[in-house]
Amino acid sequence: MSSLQVFCLPYSGASAMVYSRWRRKLPEWLNIRPLELPGRGSRLGEPLQTDMHALASQLAAELIRDIDGPYALFGHSLGALLAFEIIHALRDSGVSSPVSLFASGTAAPTRRDDYNQGFAKPKSDEQLIEELRDLQGTPQEVLDNAELMSLTLPILRADFLMCGRYQYRQRPGLTCPIHVLGGKDDKATQEQLIAWQLESEGRFSLDMIPGSHFFIHEHESEVLRLLQVKLKMDLDGYLRKKDCYHHCS
């Protein structure tokens, strides 16, 4: 079966490591490529970014060197919005459309006003820790570890600012399918999730998964099942279209 590169964007405060397990759990034809953002992990020495469009342009320029054949993007929360902007930046550079976009755990680009309320100004350490507690994805012993928090909070503060200051830009719709995943107990409403379908002329799907904001970890096996099924279908469609183009032109 043809190989498919799947570039994965992390959520606020996280590094590319959050997707490392997926490489072992998915078949070989899915080439999982976690993307590291500046200021964390292997890019710890680089400055943190708070401008979504600038970061998307930077990552798109880096990706152009790595894309080799069919590719898809997956992003959770901040990562979903960033993946969406990367695809637009790639298109502006003349790169062909991805096989699909997976937008997980966040409101659509046109539904950010209520979702990001209060995120446009820097939050204090106490406010950030309270946000982490509300999201239910960080163990209490981590929240109580001052050394760990001193490393995490600056990244989280920058990422929250990037989300809060995001400005939607009206552009022609994408052409790839958009698959949206939402947590049944997460704060993103179905209306905010369904609005993702406005961003592409391609197919749209919405799957609601049990769990809160970090359902991608709480119900990882179901997320990976959906990812594999939908990517196989999209890759098959992409290859058929490409084959028809070569034979019909």
Write the pLDDT tens digit of every residue in 230-240.
999 999 999 98
Residue 227 clears pLDDT 90, i.e. is over it:
yes
Just list the catalytic residues: 77
Range scoring the smallest mean pLDDT among 50-59, 133-142, 213-222? 133-142
CB 55 within 8 A of CB 168: no
Q: Provide the domain count of the chain.
A: 1
Which pLDDT score is estimated for 197? Answer: 97
Which pLDDT score is estimated for 3? Answer: 94
Instruction: Dump pLDDT digits (tens) for 110-120.
Output: 999 877 766 77
Q: Domain of 25?
A: 4-248
Alpha helix segments (H runs only) across the chain: 22-25, 52-64, 78-92, 112-115, 125-135, 140-143, 146-164, 190-194, 215-218, 220-248
Which pLDDT score is estimated for 248? Answer: 59
CB 14 within 8 A of CB 31: no
* Inter-residue long-range contacts of 124-130, CB under 8 Å, 24+ positions, other chains counted: 125/149, 125/153, 128/153, 128/156, 128/157, 128/160, 129/153
Residue 35 clears pLDDT 70, i.e. is over it:
yes
pLDDT tier, 81 (very low <50, low <70, confident <90, very high otherwise): very high
Query: What average pLDDT does range 154-178 have in this prediction?
Result: 94
pLDDT tier, 249 (very low <50, low <70, confident <90, very high otherwise): low
Strands 101-104 and 71-76: parallel
pLDDT tier, 246 (very low <50, low <70, confident <90, very high otherwise): low
Which pLDDT score is estimated for 82? Answer: 98
Look at 156 and 38; give whichever has higher pLDDT.
Answer: 38
Residue 247 clears pLDDT 60, i.e. is over it:
no
Edge-first strand order for the sheet with 4-9 is: 30-34, 4-9, 71-76, 101-104, 178-183, 204-209
Which pLDDT score is estimated for 214? Answer: 93
pLDDT tier, 244 (very low <50, low <70, confident <90, very high otherwise): low
Query: What average pLDDT does range 92-115 have in this prediction?
Result: 94
What's the CATH code of the domain at 113?
3.40.50.1820
Residue 27 clears pLDDT 70, i.e. is over it:
yes
Q: Taking all residues of the chain, what is their mean pLDDT, rounded to a whole number?
A: 91
